[in-house]
Amino acid sequence: MSKTVSGVLASFKYEDCAVDAIKGLKSKGFKDLTVYSAAPNHLIEEALDQPVSWVRAFTLIGALTGCAAGFGMSIWMSLDWPLLVGGKPIAAIPPYVVLGFELTILYGALSTVAGVIILSAMKSLKGRPFKPEFSDDTIGVFVPCPPEQRPTIRQFLEGVGSEEVTEHGA
Amino acid sequence: MPDEMKHEPLDRRRFLKVVGVAGAGTAALTGCSTDKVEKLIPYLVQSADQVPGIPTIYASTCTECAAGCGLHVRTREARAIKLEGNPQHPVNAGTLCARGQASLQGLYNPDRLTGPMGRNGVGKMSEVLWNEAIDQLAAAVKQAGSKVAVVTGTPAGTMSDLIDQWTAAVGGRVIRYQAFDHGPVQLAAKKVFGVDELPHHDFGAAKYIVSFGADFLETWHGPIENQRGFAAAHGFDGKGMAKFVYVGTRMSLTGMNADQWVSAASGSETSLALGLANAVLASRSDAPADAAQLKGMLAAYTVEKVAQDTGLSADVVRTLCAEFAKAAPSLAVAGGIGAQHRGAAELCAAVNVLNYVAGNVGKTVHFGFGMGSGSGYGAMLELERAMNAGEIDAVIFHDTNPLYTLPKSGGFRAALAKVRFRATTSMFWDETAAACDLVLPSLHSLERWDDSRPRAGVHGLVQPVMEPVFKNMAAGDVLLQVARKIGGAAGAAFTAPTYEAHLKGIWAGVAKARGAADFDTFWRGALANGGLYDAAPAPATIKLAAGAGDIKSEKPAFDGEGLLFAPYPSSMYHDGRGANRPWLLENPDPVTRITWQSWIEINPETAREMDIREGEILRLNSPAGSIEASVYVYPGIARDVLAMPLGLGHTEYGRYAQGRGVNALDLLSAKDGQGFLPYLSTRVKAEKTGRFRKVAKTEGNPRELGRGITEAIPLAAAVKGLTIQQAYQAAGKGEHEVNPEREAEAIKGFREGQLEERRYGAYALDNPQWGMVIDLARCTGCSACVTACSAENNIPWVGEEDIFRGRELSWMRIERYFEGGEDGEPIKARVIPMLCQQCDAAPCEPVCPVYAAYHTADGLNGQVYNRCVGTRYCANNCPYKVRYYNWYAYAKRAFVEPLNLQLNPDVTVRARGVMEKCTFCIQRIRGAQNTARLEDRAVADGDVVTACAQACASGAITFGNVKDPASRVVQAAKNPRGYHVLEELNTRPAVTYLARVEYGSEA
Amino acid sequence: MRKLLVAGVAAVMAVGAIALTMPSLTTAQNQAKKAEPDSVVAPRLTAADSSNLKGPKQPIFFRHDIHAGQYKIQCQYCHYTVAASSEPGVPSLQTCMGCHLAIGGADSTHRVEIKKLRDAWKEKRPVEWVRIHTLAKHAHFPHMRHIKSLGPNACATCHGDVARMPQVFKVNNVNNMGFCISCHVERKVNRDCTACHY
Amino acid sequence: MTAMLDHTPKMTHAEVTRDVVATLQTPSRGYYMALFGAIGLFLVGLGTFVMLLKEGLGLAGYNPPIFWSVYITTFVFWVGIGHAGTLISAILFLFRSPWRTAVYRSTEAMTVFAVMTAGLFPIIHIGRQWIFYWLLPYPNQRWLWPNFKSPLIWDVFAISTYLTVSTTFLIVGLVPDIAAVRDKMSGWRKKLYGALSIGWTGADSQWRHYTRGYMYLAALATPLVLSVHSVVSWDFAMSVIPGWHGTIFAPYFVAGAIYSGIGMVMTLVIPLRKVLKIEHLITEYHFDNLSKLTLLTGSILFYAYAMEYFVAWYSGNTFEQTTFWMRAFGPMWWGGWTMIICNGFVSQLLWFKKIRTNLTALFVISIFINIGMWFERFVIINSLGNDFLPYAWGRMNPTWADWGILAGSFGWFGMYFLLFARTFPVVAIQELKEIIPMPRRKGGAH
């Protein structure tokens, strides 16, 4: 168990309170918040307004690789040992479109998932507190901050209507 | 079979010795399982004419029927693997029928007796030693003295002579008995021409052929020779063809090939024959002088009388008369089972008269060929009497199975039981053997020495081509040894130590007679050629005999009442001897396409009246007995007739034959005609049983629904050299072009583009393109090619149960379609051999996921068995449905020892789960290419002959390289009658069919 | 190059265990050396040693290294049909006796083995050699064509340098299709499936 | 939006979690009976397969010229079943269709297991099952590759891709829910779900990529689902066989697939919601929508049937005409009519809201749909029975070996589905929460 990050964790039952909290904290200059919610919530997204995820890049590259692989494989393998069937050309493109297509999808999908995992893992949540109810019906907001700032932030969070605020870290 | 008869397992070591190199023999698709230790067994002494891996061919003679066709026995590692025709032989000229080829399965039959059988203490049959058997026989014969009878079916030859001499020496009588003898023909010859022999017919020379129930393409005389002649006369040669009219109650295979089937009332054919003779005399002046004396007798047979007798319309009779009178030389034949009623002798006599007045005798009908029919059925009845009278103490049967081939209603079995000692030389445990006290299994004709004289000018040799499969003794040797045992006159009569020596002695005489300097060279020459072939003898001059004047056409007597029962010889089982050969059992009947079964043929209308459907089991009752079999509704049979094939319903005769089907003879009364068995003499009451048994036929639908699968073209159009399209237009039936010109062009352009795309790797090289032409004007549907294909390509048989499911493996299959037959128009049958078309744009190829089906560089649809995973997509997508699948391990099931020795080592035996199909005999192609390569030359036209083409007696199949403009196949394909089946699918088959030529309105 | 391509494709396909199959693709090259037996004197061995030698133990300890190596007897003297037929031909006992009627063996170890042969000949009993090179039955290998185009001494290409083997063993897995193909591709000769499979 | 609100379950996030997690508690006796029934059926299939391996495909009712039979029929049937799942989970997701949330998880699971089942058949039905892997392009010492022109190879790729993608899609969707379950569980279960949830906390940094990724997956799955059954249809349409060689096959098959899939969804979910006591989560409203989809696809199918006959008649092609005549009046007429009645006519009942919202009726109809769609494939394959050469005609005659494998496939499928329903939330917790608004202190809708 690595040492916990110093900061304040607040739980909200009401989403508008949580949104107020986030907006407030950001305006106070706290950028590195961690907001837990049981479901994606667009109000929170707006409040955090982060740039668009890069998953799409993974998807695109994966898909293109797949397409190339599909055509490449079928054409090269046909030419590797040329065998004539039904009077069709050795490397016939129309039938190979199917291969190209299927692999496009396959690689696209797999690399998308890879993307999601990698990108999510890039932001480490090590040492940041988590409560089970966050996956149920509660929104959690964690503000990393030096110990001396904790009381003020605690005050603020209780002010915007957090049900429960706890301080963390040494 | 008595249970104490055990099949002694074959001595493996001995076989390996025979095989030479173990494993080079029976190839099995065993994947790559080479880890198991295999043994290499070398020859002790390397025989000069055996090179492992290269077939050695021995010339011999076929003994399956009396025709005596010449054989080329293909052997590998000293075991016979295939029988083919001897090209030098005048009878069959390199072709061979299905029965002849199946002789191999007689040789390797698992039910062959492994040694002599005699009665033991308790009177049961059990194996005895050969010397004991000989002693027993000698003792019995000696004791019987002059009361010995030898019943033999052996056709003319040294063996037959030996039997005569031997019997004479021991004092006794010989009865020559063949089930399908030609008693009536011989009687008629005596009556009309005063000669006691059978005529020889030259179908090839005839311009007009009429057959009165003589099925000359199935069993009548020498079918192969007949077929060759028929093809020559009736196969369209670009100028014209003979017309063939078949008169009979049932459209047999022969009838199917007729241009006109005349269903005259059974027994009335005589009247028709005489009517024709009358017309000829009336309209032609070139009749022989002494024919005039017949005028009186014939005058009575006016068109009207004939029409009334036969129940045909006067017009039909009139046209027949006119046509027959016009054609010269013509040929009329009679005397087959198809019209063997009690008036058969009269009919044959009438036909003799007809041939005589038409001046055919000497042109198409020859005497002086020294062909006899033996003493026949009459003699058997006489023997029966003698046995009953106790005049016979010992009977020896050789090459005959009378207890099967004689009607049960006769007393022969009972009479035989009265005889003290009965012996047979049968190789199998057949009905006669079961009734004998001693069985001395002879050797198969591929294991022994012999010769045959089917007719003057042909003296064929039979030579052993391999070690006997079972250590048995040739009947000839048995006779000689017995004679020696008996001693005295008999012993003195025969000095030769072995039958081989005896035979050589005889041939030494022949050599001397021919003034041969040195016997050995003469003998070796004769062996190499398979015998001696001289020009046909000068035909004897024939004059009318006194009897010619009084030929009466009376309705013959029939026993019982109800429908006329017409048993007919099966072209596969002959008189029943073929019933233990799986090749023949699974080769569908050419007419009904039924396998493995007996069936009852019934006319559709009769069936409708009796409310009978196909497969319903019918019980037939006659005064003589009753039998049950499934019904097959056949439009090619007269309304008042029920027909049934002979040859099945064995009570013994091994695993394949025993208890399979029923024996039609059980319904016949044995009452004699005049020295022949009247097969067509019984009426039967048909009784519904309400039970059903599927008919094991390989056919789905008998009509081709106007799909132009078997094209036919009217003679007139064919003579003009019209194509099928043109012929249709000429007939006003011009169906629209398959492709309009612009389409055709577009396709052509696309095609060329495609061809360019295909130039890659091996496909860019200059390879041959194999192709085939099949002339439907010559194909008779005899199915010899089917057996040839099975033999060459190790095709296993699947058995009745799988035939029910349509799972037969038959790379070459004969499709038979009916035309007409409804609302008045005459029923016609068309046949087409259907095999892999080796399409250039094959639908089967692209769908195979693993390239097991692909296009070879030499234009074949390659089928790589070991690559096949068995998705069966190719078979689904084949429009011709010529791909066959191994649903079970058929090969393992079928080729039980010693049948596995017949396998062709050059062809992979397909395992379970693998697709297979016709390969154009690729192993022969590769073989020819290998040889050519060794000799640094190119493969020449004719180097490669497919098994089917080789067997075809009609010469309907041509094979070769279509890239070579000089090749025979290219020449043949140029024929305007040429077409491709399902051309509109654009599969571009390599097989071209030549449309059948039919007599249309102008006939 | 080829390896790279295959490997590349395989990697893209993410199919594992390619490496295992790779070596077989190039076995042919290693086996291309000629089989000229130089006049080595074959080592002195007894049947007892045969069990320590590579390859299966034969009923008679027949020494290819003596016959083909030391005495330079042409392969085709015994394998008499190799140039004419698809089957190379196993020498008949008669062939063996042709020499061994006279030749009784240089020393005891030889004499023992030759006696076995002579006994077999007396008893008219074929010697059951253990087969070493077996081709699956669905593949047809016409020996004569290969001898024709590769020359009479090409045997070693597939069978290895038998002339140096006291006891014959399998050098190449001739039953491996890849073994045939690699050679056919190298020499740019026919690789049509039905050349061998029918 | 209103429609959405109307039908949004009236519950709080906490209740959603509670009710769904409740489905994972010790199940009823009915569940176990179902499970053992399924396993029993599977064993029957297994036994049959062993026999096939031992004896050969001859045991099954193959009668040439019909070289494919019940196995391929069932194969196509199961592939088809799969499609509804992806349609609902992916396509309706892209359309932001609100009613999918409650049902999509179970349908997606159905998809995965149906495709798993289908995937077995190409192996079962080939003659030499032990070398099925020759269909895969793997480097081998023979230097051989598969034939990519063969629709069967397309199948191999289409099916395996479909299986992979739909499985991924299912798992990705599951992760947040597993996390939710994890946080309600205790003891070894907590550990298990904890491991499965791969450290999901629902932090914004995770949702951010997750929502995006999920959308792209849906976007990829959509063309895939359309392609897969098109490819399967080409197994037939690429051939020359009358009755197979049809240009309308791809759309016709896709519609049929979705139709059959939804049929199967109803068959599964109607009892399931009872057993798991989630009637208030999956309501008539959802079935009403499913029914509308069924009606649509069913009508497309009906039209396709009509078209097939019309084209056969209009083409003037004697082969086509014979085939379709045989389909209706030939020896297998019963098959042809079963398909037309079950798919064509029965689906038309769904015009009536009364029926659309009567679950009993829907259940019965869904059974008809399953039967009808199986027969559709059966009938199509039977076209082989009378193709070009009348001499070679024949008819299929299935045996115990066919039925054994068919039963086994249902067992295999049911087994997995039941185990899944027991182990993972069959209703998507997080997506439900997404549509159920969170309470606000200041009140009022946004």
**Helix, strand, or coil here: B938?**
coil
D202 shares contact with chain A (CB less than 8 Å): yes
* Separation CA C116–CA C50 (nearest Å): 16
According to the model, what pLDDT value does residue C37 have?
44
Say if residue D115 is exposed, middle or buried (CB neighbours under 10 Å; 0-12, 13-18, 19+).
Answer: buried
Among D370, D101, D388, which residue's Cα sits nearest to residue D257? Answer: D370
In what helix (H) or strand (E) does residue B262 lie, and over which residues does it extend? strand B260-262
Whether residue B941 has pLDDT greater than 90:
yes
For residues B913 and B891, give the distance between their C-alpha atoms in angstroms, rounded to a whole number: 12
Task: Check residue B531 and give left, alpha or beta (phi > 0: left; psi -120 to 50: alpha).
Answer: left
DSSP designation for B780: -
Please name the residues in contact with B880: beta carbons below 8 A apart, sequence gap of 6 or more: B834, B836, B837, B981, B982, B989, D388, D389
CB-closest option in B37, B42, B864 to C90 = B42
Chain B partners (3+ C-beta pairs within 8 A): A, C, D
Q: Report the DSSP pairing between strands B599-602 and B70-76.
A: unpaired
User: How far apart (Å, rounded) are the C-alpha atoms in residues B663 and B404?
Assistant: 9
Chain A to chain C Cβ contacts (< 8 Å): 13
| CA–CA dist D438, B344 (Å, integer) | 108
Buried b (16+ CB within 10 A) or exposed e, B850-870: bbbbbbbbbbbbbbbbbbbbb
Residue B765 has pLDDT above 90, yes or no: no
Residues 179-198 of C with CB under 8 A from B: 190-195, 197-198
pLDDT band of C39, cuts 50, 70, 90: low
Q: What pLDDT sits at residue D443?
A: 59
The answer to whether the beta carbons of residues D291 and D265 sit under 8 Å apart is no
CA distance D72 to B774: 37
Instruction: Kindly tell me if the per-residue pLDDT of B234 is higher than 90.
Output: yes
The pLDDT assigned to B735 comes to 62
pLDDT in tens, B484-533: 998 888 888 888 999 999 999 999 999 999 998 899 999 999 999 999 99
Dihedral of CA A151/A154/A159/A165: which sign? negative
pLDDT surpasses 60 at C20? no
* DSSP code for B361: B
In chain C, which residue's Cα lies nearest the Cα of A67?
A: C12
Contacts of B987 (CB under 8 A, 6+ apart): B837, B839, B840, B841, B842, B843, B879, B980, D240
Cβ-contact D254, D83 below 8 angstroms: yes
Least confident of B279-288, B645-654, B670-679, D85-94: B670-679
Q: Is pLDDT at B41 greater than 80 in this prediction?
A: no
Planar angle of CA B612, B615, B621, nearest 5 degrees = 65
Q: List, in order, residues 6 or more apart from B930 with CB less than 8 Å away.
A: C86, C142, C144, C145
CB B242 within 8 A of CB B209: yes
pLDDT > 90: percent of chain B: 68
What mean pLDDT comes out for the span C8-23?
Answer: 43
Contacts of residue D26, defined as CB under 8 A and 6 or more positions apart, other chains included, come to none
How do the pLDDT tens digits run along chain D, 446 residues long? 344 446 677 788 888 888 888 888 877 888 899 999 999 999 999 999 999 999 999 999 999 999 998 999 999 999 999 888 888 888 888 888 878 888 888 899 999 999 999 999 999 999 999 999 999 999 998 889 999 999 999 999 999 999 999 999 999 999 999 999 998 888 888 899 999 988 898 888 899 999 999 999 999 999 999 999 999 999 999 999 999 998 899 999 999 999 999 999 999 989 888 888 888 888 888 899 899 999 999 999 999 999 999 999 998 889 999 999 999 998 889 999 999 999 999 999 999 999 998 999 999 999 999 999 999 999 999 999 999 999 999 988 899 999 999 999 999 999 999 999 888 998 888 888 888 888 888 755 44
pLDDT, mean of residues B783-806: 94
Cα–Cα nearest to B64, from B183, B172, B180, B235: B180
Q: How confident is the model over B745-762, as pLDDT tens digits?
A: 887 888 787 777 777 888
User: Which chain B residues touch A79 with a CB distance below 8 Å?
Assistant: 760
> Which residues in chain C are closer than 8 Å to A74, comparing Cβ atoms?
none
> What interhelical angle do D359-382 and D284-315 show, nearest 10?
30
Select from D202, D208, D438 the Cβ nearest to the Cβ of A53.
Answer: D208
Radius of gyration of chain D (CA): 23
pLDDT, position D431: 85
**What is the pLDDT at residue B673?**
63
CA C78 vs. chain centroid, Å, equals: 13
Asked if C74 has any chain B CB less than 8 Å from its own CB, the reply is no
Number of Cβ within a 10 Å radius of residue A155: 11
**Cα–Cα distance measured from residue B676 to residue C33, given in angstroms and rounded to the nearest whole number:** 78
Which one of B752, B754, B760 makes the best mutation probe of the A interface by having the most chain A beta carbons within 10 Å?
B760
- Is it the case that residue B671 has pLDDT exceeding 80? no
Q: Which residue has the higher pLDDT, B31 or B589?
A: B589
Test D144 with B867 for CB contact under 8 angstroms: yes
Whether D404 contacts D53, CB under 8 Å = no
Both structure tokens of B207: 């311009």
pLDDT score of B738: 64
Tell me: pLDDT of B11 over 50. no
The verdict on C95 touching B (C-beta cutoff 8 Å) is yes
Average pLDDT estimate for B175-199? 89
Chain A residues with beta carbon closer than 8 angstroms to that of C5 = 76
Average of per-residue pLDDT across B448-467: 91
Residue B13: per-residue pLDDT: 37
Does the CB of C177 have a partner CB in chain D at under 8 Å? yes
Main-chain dihedrals φ then ψ at residue B541, nearest 5 degrees: -75, 130
What phi and psi, each to the nearest 5 degrees, are found at residue D318? -60, -35
Please state the pTM of the whole predicted model. Answer: 0.91
User: How many angstroms separate the CA atoms of D225 and A2, rounded?
Assistant: 45
* Residue A86 at interface with chain D, using a CB cutoff of 8 Å: yes
Query: Would you state the structure tokens that stand for residue B457, as one six-digit string?
Result: 């000018």
Handedness of CA B871, B876, B880, B885 (dihedral sign): positive
What length does chain B have?
Answer: 1003
Q: Which residue has the tokens 């989403």?
A: A15
Phi and psi at residue B361, in whole multiples of 5°?
-65, 125
Instruction: Determine the Cα–Cα distance for residues B858 and C190; give it in Å rounded to an integer.
Output: 12
Instruction: Give Cα separations from D209 to B169, B461, D43, D181, D201 (angstroms).
Output: 112, 93, 43, 22, 13
Q: Residue B815 is encoded by which pair of tokens?
A: 């499709």
- Which of D56, D235, D240 lies at the smallest CB-CB distance from B912? D56
* β-strand pairing of B79-85 with B70-76: antiparallel
Q: Binning pLDDT at 50, 70 and 90, where does residue A170 land?
A: low
Confidence of residue B968 (pLDDT cuts 50, 70, 90): very high
Other residues' Cβ atoms within 10 Å of the Cβ of residue B962: 18
Query: What share of chain C in percent tops pLDDT 90?
Result: 29
CA separation for the pair A167, A146 (Å, rounded): 11
Q: State whether residue D446 sits within 8 Å of chain A by CB.
A: yes
- Position A147: which residue type? P
C22 pLDDT exceeds 60? no
Task: Say if the Cβ atoms of C10 and D136 lie within 8 Å.
Answer: no
Determine the residue type at B254: T
Main-chain dihedrals φ then ψ at residue D426, nearest 5 degrees: -85, -5
Residue A67 has pLDDT above 60, yes or no: yes
Helix or strand holding residue B397 (H, E): strand B394-398
Contact B992, B773 (CB under 8 A): yes
Q: Report which of B182, B250, B253, B247 is spatially closest to residue B220, judged by C-alpha positions.
A: B182
Residue B590, number of CB atoms within 10 A of its CB: 27
Task: Find out whether B1003 and B243 touch, Cβ atoms under 8 Å.
Answer: yes
Q: Which sign, positive or negative, has the C-alpha torsion B753, B755, B759, B760?
A: positive
Across the interface, do D384 and B888 touch by the CB < 8 Å criterion? no
In angstroms, the CA B833 to CA B785 distance is 9
For chain B, say whether C18 makes contact (Cβ under 8 Å).
no
Are B833 and D29 contacting, i.e. CB atoms less than 8 angstroms apart? no
Q: Is the peptide bond before B898 cis (omega within 30 degrees of 0)?
A: yes
pLDDT average, residue stretch B106-131: 90
pLDDT in tens, B358-377: 999 989 999 988 887 777 88
Which residues have C-beta within 8 Å of that of residue B302, sequence separation ≥ 6? B275, B278
The number of beta carbons lying within 10 Å of the beta carbon of residue C1 is 5
